Amino acid sequence: MQDLGIRVLFMGNNFLRLLLGLWITIKISLAAAGLSLVFGTFLGMVMTLENSVVRAVSRVYLEFIRIMPQLVLLFLVYFGLTKAFGVNLSGQASAVLVFTLWGTAEMGDLVRGALVSIPRHQYETGTALGLGPLQIYWYVIIPQAVQRLLPLAINLTTRMIKTTSLVVLIGVVEVMKAAQQIIEANRYTVPDAALWIYGAIFFLYFFVCWPISLLAARLERAQ
């Protein structure tokens, strides 16, 4: 019995269905990661301002988003927004919204950290050379900050891909849902399908995230 179970993976288009399901998770995380990169960079730059109101607001936003489990945020948007404002978002749309909100907070903090970590004399030297504030940012600060930021931002992407697995719990049909469908469909012919299918998904996630983590680790060492 045990040795036959693995065939469920390759029966019909089962494996393709799993991959397509995984693609939906990855699509959500890539969309959210792209948006977070844009908004997070902006947030990070805003957070370095001396204005205390801006600081307080961004701090509260950051701490709230970071302290809440992502699943709670998903529930807040998926169930809460609908009820409170009558906005009816699909599971995928709420997922992109939540992961963008979360990614913006995380990315903002990384950008802030990278900007702050650049020694003050870099700014001062730029000024002494007669560069304007925008030129200082563009030619001096950003190239250095990006180098520090890149591995951290890539790590954030893998975290996002892993966390997007939660979207199945708000009803998005992705890899876990496809798995459940396949297992149900083969309940009588392949009773131990669950073992193989969930095992396969475990390694699918691993082979998506692992290369990205390795890349991040390599970039970090290169510094």
CA separation for the pair 223, 164 (Å, rounded): 30
Q: Which of residues 110-139 bind another protein (CB under 8 A)?
A: none
Our finding on whether 14 is near another protein (CB under 8 A) is no
Q: Out of 29, 92, 94, 163, point to the residue binding another protein (CB under 8 A).
A: 163
* C-alpha separations of 195 from 90, 142, 167 in Å: 31, 48, 22
Say if residues 71 and 166 touch (Cβ distance below 8 Å).
yes
Q: How far is the CB of 36 from another protein (least distance, A)?
A: 18
CA separation for the pair 217, 198 (Å, rounded): 28
Our finding on whether 9 is near another protein (CB under 8 A) is no
Provide φ and ψ at 37, rounded to 5°: -60, -45
Question: From residue 76 to residue 95, what is the string marking binding to another protein with x (rule CB under 8 A)?
Answer: x--xx-xxx-----------
Q: Which is nearer to another protein, 46 or 81 (CB)?
A: 81
Tokens encoding 6: 């693995």
Question: From residue 56 to residue 75, what is the string marking binding to another protein with x (rule CB under 8 A)?
Answer: -----------xxxxxx--x
CA separation for the pair 219, 192 (Å, rounded): 42
* Binding footprint of another protein on the chain (CB under 8 A): 2, 5, 67-72, 75-76, 79-80, 82-84, 158, 162-163, 165-166, 168-169, 176, 179, 183, 191-199, 201-202, 205-206, 209-210, 213
